[in-house]
Amino acid sequence: MAYPRYLRDRACELRTEKHLSLIEIADRLGLPKTTVYYWIKDLPLGRPRRATRGQRTGNRGMRKKYRLLREAAYNQGLVEYDDLIKLPTFRDFVVLYIAEGYKRNRNIASICTSDAPVVAMAAGWLRLLSAKRVIVRVQYHADQDADELRHFWATAVDVDPATVDLVPKSNSGELRHRARRCMHGVASVTVYDTYLQARLQAWIDCVREDWHLDSAVPAGRGAIW
């Protein structure tokens, strides 16, 4: 599929000016890694030369500093859990994150689904739990109405339609004659918040502990029939 020229230009800019990796660029733009690879494969990462001993010492110090901050955020999550779990839909939000949440980057908290009420609930919790802006991104097929999608998701999530990012699906040209289940595309709500992600991990661990999986109902057909 041919993507708009501005997406390729943006990928190259993120590579040469922001020094982002292939995975980071693909995540930022919501594009397949294979597509981004062919756009940036000949571009240098542009990161500084190997650090001196003093710089490496400073880097280790910074890594330790931020590791301790993440650990503090995790501990904060443990402390908050008993109060938060009493709030309506908080457990639902955490369980949703276990099932549908983005877990490959510790700096990002994101949930992606085509179910508008679920997206709205997730966006509400992200706003409540983080001071960072909630980013709404929608993957859609080429034959869908972009303006209609923007207004649909903007209404569902309560944001300005102009802030909704639309990303065409890589296989959209192949599906025009098939029945689609996702009438309004697939939306993700995202915040770039390292410390929220750390707190989320604490809540996930607490919910899993609450489940007492060692005493759960046995799996398999024979266990329920």
Q: For 4-151, where are the E strands, in sequence order?
A: 109-113, 135-140
Does residue 68 belong to any structural domain of this protein? no
In a domain, 201, yes or no: yes
User: Does residue 113 sit within a domain?
Assistant: yes
Return d(Cα 124, Cα 159) in angstroms, integer.
Answer: 11
* 203 CB neighbour count, 10 Å cutoff: 24
pLDDT greater than 50 at residue 222: no
Q: What is the pLDDT of residues 167-185, one digit of tens each?
A: 887 665 555 554 556 788 9
pLDDT, tens digit, for every residue of 88-132? 999 999 999 999 999 888 899 999 999 999 999 999 999 999 999
Interval 54-99: pLDDT, tens: 666 667 778 788 888 989 999 999 999 999 999 999 999 999 999 9
Q: What's 164's domain CATH number?
A: 3.30.1330
Higher-scoring residue by pLDDT: 205, 61 = 205
Q: Answer yes or no: is 56 within a domain.
A: no
∠ CA 25-20-160, nearest 5°, is 50
Domains held by the chain: number? 1
Residue 199 falls inside a structural domain: yes
C-alpha span between 156 and 113 (Å, rounded): 13
pTM value is 0.66
Residue 194's SS3 state is: helix
Tell me if 163 is assigned to some domain.
yes
Evaluate whether residue 187 is within a structural domain: yes
In a domain, 44, yes or no: no
And the tokens for 9? 């230009």
* Structural domain of 155: 87-213
Give the span between the Cα atoms of 39 and 24, in whole angstroms.
Answer: 14
